[in-house]
Amino acid sequence: MLLKAEQIELAILTAIINWHEESGWIGHRYDIETSVRLSGVAASTPEVLEEVMLLHQHNLIGIHRYISGEWIPYDPLQGSVYFYDGAFRCKCLPGARRRQQELSKSKRDGIFISHFGPESPIAVHLKNFLKATLTPPPTVFVSSDYDSIPDGQWFPAIINGLRQSDFIICLLSPRAIDRRWINFEGGFGFGSEADVLPLVWGGLDKGDVGNPLGQLQVRALDDANDIKAMMEVLAAKCRNFFNASSLNDFMSALPAIEAKVPSTELAVRIFRTKDGIVQLSIQNRGTRQLDMLEVELMMPQHLNTGSSNWFTAWEPVRPTRYRTSDGVRYIGQALTIHPSSQLHLGINPLTPVLTPKMGECVISGIGLRLPAEMSPGDQTLLVSYSALSKQVSIGPEFVPISQIPLSDG
């Protein structure tokens, strides 16, 4: 943690270094004071000017005033009186950026929780645990928590939170592992030399994390020993005291917290009717609405019995498709919501929105009519199916014809 004088020094250096003109920062005494206040440091005028003079004394900044057509260097014998007499210029000298980086690194004392947006209940639960069990309570930043972003400045607040954090905890679930923001925030932590702590939950195994986060010490949220070890690392490096008495309560509350996380799950069932027709059903088994894009059903082409295999003409929302897999030529149908320039001859039977309350929906617009008689070899051939929504996809999956269950309807 920086001393107050160091915080003022960092604010002054940052204002000068970030100035957009190469010639240096030009302003008045009160402009420097404003820069210090905006950085969150409450400092008096003498405190600010003392740091300005020390920066000059240590050859980190140059100070000049424009007089009679030329820049006149600051004379230390003039003391602080110099800064009360109009505008002056400050320019960073070699070593200023290095000093700024040293101070910036020392200033970091927060914990940043990186997570997938819909999984914020887990992130907030962890934040509350960190603040309740570490003494003194650390600054904990959660990007989806309004306490972390009170003014709604989302992106700048995230970048600032990352810069000020010693630790980046990456909450990794099966849905979060490949999210761009998780990887961006973890990479930001690497680049700024913060400690990045991967934490898996929601069914993701430690071994499934992969590179680059998998190269770090991966811990599991549902493992009390892992959480205890992580907290001890945080306490030691942040010079906090960890009170482990609340650990059991934290672990006991996890199942209920996980239940609050919106889930995305699409189920597909393939079945065969008594007439020998293979069909599909889809069902939303999660808690979030699914926006369906298409479903597909395919069979080996040599089993196709011709025109009798097709249902009513739903073209163009039901295009014929062909595919070759493992040397087998497949033919089949798909229902899609993608628009087409062709003439619609019917209404698309694929519902565009699948809600949890809709239950199982049989797709009536596509199906495969199997031959009435098939050899034992034909029974081992595979049928392919897939379903795609904006949120989740299944397949293509391959099922032997002999294993397709007969519908009980």
pLDDT of residue 110: 83
pLDDT of residue 2: 67
Q: Band of the pLDDT at 290, cuts 50, 70, 90?
A: very high
Q: Band of the pLDDT at 404, cuts 50, 70, 90?
A: very high
Q: Tell me which of 3.20.20.70, 3.50.50.60, 1.10.10.10, 3.40.50.150 is the CATH number of domain 4-104.
A: 1.10.10.10
Euclidean distance between CA atoms 82 and 65, whole angstroms: 9
pLDDT of residue 107: 59
- Once rounded to an integer, what is the mean pLDDT over residues 54-70? 93
Question: CATH class for domain 108-259?
Answer: alpha beta
Annotated domain spans of the chain: 4-104, 108-259, 266-403
pLDDT of residue 193: 74
* pLDDT tens figures, 149-158: 555 566 777 7
pLDDT of residue 172: 92
Q: Do domains 4-104 and 108-259 have the same CATH topology?
A: no
> Are 197 and 168 spatial neighbours (Cβ–Cβ below 8 Å)?
yes
Q: What percent of the chain has pLDDT over 70?
A: 89
Whole-prediction pTM: 0.55
Q: Tell me which of 2.60.220, 2.60.40, 3.40.50, 1.10.10 is the CATH number of domain 266-403.
A: 2.60.40
Q: Higher-confidence residue: 56 or 151?
A: 56
- Once rounded to an integer, what is the mean pLDDT over residues 345-349? 59
Taken in order 360, 366, 369, 375, the sign of the CA dihedral is negative
pLDDT of residue 150: 52
Range list of β-strands (E), 85-183: 88-92, 110-114, 134-135, 139-142, 165-172
Of 33, 7, 4, nearest in space to 164 by CA: 7
Longest dimension (CA), the chain: 106
Of 162, 164, 157, nearest in space to 107 by CA: 164
pLDDT of residue 310: 45
Least trusted range by pLDDT, from 155-164, 212-221, 271-280, 340-349? 340-349
> Are 295 and 282 spatial neighbours (Cβ–Cβ below 8 Å)?
yes
pLDDT of residue 373: 85
Mean pLDDT over all residues of the chain? Answer: 84
Asked if pLDDT for residue 79 goes beyond 80, the answer is yes
Euclidean distance between CA atoms 348 and 319, whole angstroms: 12
CA distances to 185, 338, 354 from 262, in Å: 22, 27, 15
Q: Band of the pLDDT at 1, cuts 50, 70, 90?
A: low
Asked if pLDDT for residue 280 goes beyond 60, the answer is yes
- Once rounded to an integer, what is the mean pLDDT over residues 113-131? 91
Asked if pLDDT for residue 199 goes beyond 50, the answer is yes
* pLDDT tens figures, 204-257: 898 888 888 888 889 999 999 999 999 998 888 777 889 989 999 999 999 999
